[in-house]
Amino acid sequence: MKEYKMYIGGRWEDAASGEVITTLNPSTGEPVCRAPSAGPADADRAVRAARATFPAWSGLPQAERNKALFRIAALIREHAHEMALLEGLEHGTPYRDAFGVCMGAAEKFEWSANAASGLMGEQIPVPGERLSYVKREPVGVVGFIIPWNLPTIMTAVKLAPALAVGNTCVLKPPSINSAIGLHFAEVLSKAEGLPPGAVNVITGSGAGVGAALAAHPGVDMIGFTGSSETGKSILASAAPTVKKCVMELGGNNPVLVFADADIDAALKVLAWRQFNNSGQHCSGPGRYYVHEAVYDEFVEKFVLYAKTVKVGDPEDEATTMGPLVSREHQSKVAGYIESALKEGARLAFGGEVSEKGFFIAPTVLADCRHDMQAARDEIFGPVAVIIKYKEGDDIVSLANDSRYGLCAHVWTRDISRGLKLVDRLHVGAVFVNCQMLSNEQPWGTSVKESGIGKEGGLYGMAEFTDQKLVCVHYGE
């Protein structure tokens, strides 16, 4: 079992308390690594290191920062095989998916380097002999709290744009994925041109480290992805210093399937998304509203797809779905299946819960209702919750009847109807007959309890800057 240290100011260090945490292999329940269990004193050391490095990093020409980000991308590609194996070992991601995730992480750094040069300022026309412009400056020290569902790619999603525009960072990986976060730090430590202290990685609990970062007066901004409940707690900790916060929080994403939908095309996207990463996707389907004319076909074909999903060892090339991330989360997802069945849902397929490892079989729950707990909450697992509706039912109201507003999916051959629904669905993103998330696109937070601000694209990169207005009189 490997022993890791934290990365603070370019040095590898233990927690001040000497305490450690042990992470587990979700496929077996066996230990993977021991990592430092940091506390407020360690968070303070990391913040001070980031603060000390900020003037030098932010003062570099953009071209020099870009070179460092390109070197990081190259290092990620060089180490992608071992990073992918570790993602499978500690998170349960099948190798072929994990390797693709690592390639995607490298692309995030390259895209951010290329995009940053075009973001940082604009001239504003004003009357008279005056020059007025807005320049963007890095916010300062950014504290990142990384989610456990996609640890490698989410580290890149947050770090790359923040570094590109000149911020320095303190990053807390999810405690149950500590090895993944600290190995990422090992890769970053080899990047020529990235000064010590530009990125600091500390491990520990949310209560011990996350809250300390949110409250620390030396942290200028918090970036967080996780549950809405935890997000509210972080906001409360950040409030006394009025920190800027960008948060992607919970979601229970509705899918509207109309009678004219191409069911085969829909399931190729939706069922894949439902079971990929064991359903632990923020943008994945949460509840399906399916027209009665195609309902039976939809359920039948969903079951046929579920039967093709190969659940097993992430290192097995045949595996297409691994375990859930923890025993606690496995129990939570199993509880939703059990409650749905008690409330009258029909188990069309799956439902099995393993005792060895944290696996749950791909599960299809048919004949569900909008008022069931499984349809109201965010399950975040490989469980499809399918609800039948008939012509005349106000499914848009049902879709909007949620405390979340992350995204929605619409499947119809009537593009006019699809575009009209874009205006009526109260969410941050709408996918019509597809799902696509690219480096160029901003991701749909900012609606209801699903978050604050944007991630991705130029909109997301802009969140890591402050706008400064400059006005100069140059006439006599």
CA within 13 Å, CB half, 151: 27
Q: Which residues contact 98 (CB under 8 A, 6 or more apart)?
A: 83, 84, 85, 87, 88, 91, 152, 314
Q: Is 248 a catalytic residue?
A: yes
Helices and strands: H and E segment counts in the chain: 15, 21
- Take residue 447 and report the two structure tokens written for it: 């609606």
Scanning the structure block, which residue is given the tokens 């900020």? 54
Are 227 and 380 in contact, with CB atoms under 8 Å apart?
no
Are 154 and 225 in contact, with CB atoms under 8 Å apart?
yes
Distance from C-alpha of 448 to C-alpha of 446, rounded to nearest angstrom: 7
- Take residue 435 and report the two structure tokens written for it: 């799902």
- Dihedral sign, Cα of residue 3, residue 75, residue 8, residue 170: negative
Q: Is 352 a catalytic residue?
A: no
What contacts 24+ positions apart, CB below 8 Å, involve 448-451? Answer: 448/402, 448/403, 448/404, 448/405, 449/228, 449/249, 449/250, 449/403, 449/404, 449/405, 450/228, 450/248, 450/249, 450/250, 450/251, 450/404, 450/405, 450/406, 451/231, 451/246, 451/247, 451/248, 451/249, 451/406
Catalytic option among 87, 90, 107, 248:
248
Amino acid at 220: D
Strands (E), 217-344: 221-225, 244-248, 253-257, 285-291
- 299: phi then psi, degrees, rounded to nearest 5: -65, -45
Closest CA to 153 of 186, 113, 181: 181
Catalytic option among 33, 102, 245, 282:
282
Looking at residue 442, the DSSP 8-state letter turns out to be: P
Residues assigned a catalytic role: 248, 282
